[in-house]
A and B are shown apart, each in its own frame.
Chain A
Amino acid sequence: MTHEEIVQAVKDIIHTIAPDEEIGGLNLTDPLRDQIELDSMDFLDIVMELRKRYGVQVPEDDYKELATLQGCADYLAPHLADHELVTNA
């Protein structure tokens, strides 16, 4: 996956976890929590969904890397290089 595809993958996951939130306008650099209503439980669900869809393990100490979409892309890029984007059913 490219950086753009990883951002899409994370947005897709956020959409399944928080379907009421408007994710179209999310920017890359502001913390996700400042842009939409995501709490710490939602981040846990993002991590679990990343594991389920892409087999990527994010250790608890690294959760903070996922605070922004850019952070997600940078952190996940080495793990997801060989994966195809899974689209929401």
Chain B
Amino acid sequence: MSRSTHYFTGSRDGKRPSSGDALDKAKDHYDVVVVGSGLAGLTAANILGRAGHSVCVLEQHYNFGGMATWFKRRGGHVFDISLHGFPIGMKKTCRKYWGTSISDRIVQLEGVRFDNPQFQFNTTFTREDFTHKLVDVFGCASRTVEAFYETLRAMNYYDDDGRTTAELFEEFFPGRNDVHRLLMEPISYANGSTLEDPAITYGIVFSNFMSKGVYTFTGGTDLLIREMRAILARNGVDVFGRSQVDEITVEHGRVRGVRVGTREIRAETVVSNAGLKATIERLVAPDHFDDAWLDAAKQTKLNCSSTQVYMGLGPGEDLPWIADLFFTSTRPEFDSASLADLHGQSRTFSFYYPKVRPGTGRHTVVSSMNANWSDWADLSESDYAAAKARLEEDTLKALEVHVPDIRSKVTHLESSTPRSFAFYTQHTGGASFGTKFEGLRYSMELPQQIEGLYHSGSVGIIMSGWLGAANYGAITANKVDARIASLAADAAPSS
């Protein structure tokens, strides 16, 4: 077989040439084609495959998982992008839609710590502990705290009252910037939301996330995705990497399939797990939409992007116990927007101790900051390199406060920026957390615009993160399954 000199997208780091036709084994027709292999796409594919439908997943990258991903570097380093940590609900979601081989590996993180000029403490990240902190450390009245929780718990996504999260906080904890920081900072890092987003998104996420601890997957993201691929194979789902969908084809207002280069694969139903904006602005030709709907949908705003710094410790190097997840800042006061500042003062550290990958004995540290696409997009190559070098240096300095000899332990140092996220995921603006709240509506309305076309993925803040994405995959699978059932009923001869 001749080796193609064509390099697939995502090749800039490894330069692994693709050889042959990635879609060689693909059928010409499926009941469902899923575009993209994020947790929403994979979960939808698995549910539909398990239900007996013919399903295929097409992923542009050679790795699967979307933002639930990892990468390897020489010297035995494995870096996870988004493994720590998700809410308890992920365990149930994985058990239902994937099985116990995945859900049994989900374990609670043992340590979550905050360190900023306003407060420094460990938390179990449970409702009980947040109550304890708010009452005994911050001195809030316990009835106020309970009333706050009750207000959040009663929130439903369909009754947005227009209040912002900042207004909600002011109502219960007026002038308490320190309390606002405790309540907002972890969620901003988890889903990119800010104090200016609707209170409703905060309420729903808080009730799921900051109630029963933070969880991770033992074995690492690579094991998770490998196991998911094995389950998909057992359920008869075809998965193809290195397959860039160029177009979702539409005929007479109805989806016809997808086009990859010159090849069209037909399908009654297409689930786009590409970003919402990419789906409506890039994958479907604009004349298939109602003009007013498309104009409004295009106004959907995106959540921020991220920067990360990956620090791999050499074999045999140890790391003192600090926390699994460490929220740090040197800013005297909290303000939401500053979390995404270029060269800002706030970052989280995910410490991956050997327990994450039992048997390897290896430690890695991944630092994450929220970031704005506009700060990074237009830098010249030299300015970009300098900005990355500064990001890495700032991060090491921040970590040195807690691990003084960190520089001598780290044998691999690397960083990613909004440009890296845009390159690897093809997300518009390198968005790490999908769209703002309004995107949920357009994502859900897509099948009303084009029959048989569904969207699933991080949208609306409440459907983001590992749990939100996986659950949205299940919601979409239910809709697709209903459509296939009704198509079959229509096609059946009447008795």
A-side interface residues toward B, CB under 8 Å?
17, 39, 41, 44-45, 47-48, 51-52, 55, 57
Per the bound structure, the CA–CA distance linking A39 and B471 in Å amounts to 12
Main secondary structure of the interface of B (DSSP, over half): helix
Per the bound structure, the CA–CA distance linking A77 and B482 in Å amounts to 20
Of the candidates A17, A41, A44, A55, the one whose C-beta lies within 8 Å of that of B485 is: A55
A44: which B residues are within 8 A, CB to CB? 474-475, 478
Q: B138-173: contact bitstring with A at CB < 8 Å (1 yes, 0 no)?
A: 000000000000000000000000000000000000
Name the distance in Å between A79's Cβ and chain B's nearest Cβ: 13
Per the bound structure, the CA–CA distance linking A39 and B474 in Å amounts to 13
With A41-B93, A45-B96 as contacts: A52 and B51 at CB distance below 8 Å: yes
18 pairs, CB–CB < 8 Å, chain A vs chain B: A39-B89, A41-B93, A41-B474, A41-B475, A44-B475, A44-B478, A45-B96, A45-B474, A48-B47, A48-B51, A48-B478, A51-B482, A52-B51, A52-B481, A55-B485, A57-B482, A57-B485, A57-B486
Name the distance in Å between B483's Cβ and chain A's nearest Cβ: 10
B477: which A residues are within 8 A, CB to CB? 48
B475 touches A17 (CB 8 A): no
Per the bound structure, the CA–CA distance linking A57 and B482 in Å amounts to 7
Chain B residue nearest in CB terms to A16 = B96
Give chain B interface residues in 441-495, CB to chain A under 8 Å. Answer: 471, 474-475, 477-478, 481-482, 485-486
Per the bound structure, the CA–CA distance linking A48 and B484 in Å amounts to 12
A41-B471, A41-B474, A47-B478 given; 13 more Cβ-contact pairs under 8 Å: A39-B89, A41-B475, A44-B474, A44-B478, A48-B477, A48-B478, A51-B481, A51-B485, A52-B51, A52-B481, A55-B485, A57-B485, A57-B486
Per the bound structure, the CA–CA distance linking A52 and B485 in Å amounts to 9
Give chain B interface residues in 163-193, CB to chain A under 8 Å. Answer: none
Per the bound structure, the CA–CA distance linking A52 and B475 in Å amounts to 15
Give chain B interface residues in 6-55, CB to chain A under 8 Å. Answer: 47, 51
A41: which B residues are within 8 A, CB to CB? 93, 96, 471, 474-475
A39: which B residues are within 8 A, CB to CB? 89
B485: which A residues are within 8 A, CB to CB? 51, 55, 57
Per the bound structure, the CA–CA distance linking A45 and B96 in Å amounts to 9
Name the distance in Å between B453's Cβ and chain A's nearest Cβ: 18
Name the distance in Å between B106's Cβ and chain A's nearest Cβ: 15
Name the distance in Å between A32's Cβ and chain B's nearest Cβ: 16
A17: which B residues are within 8 A, CB to CB? 96
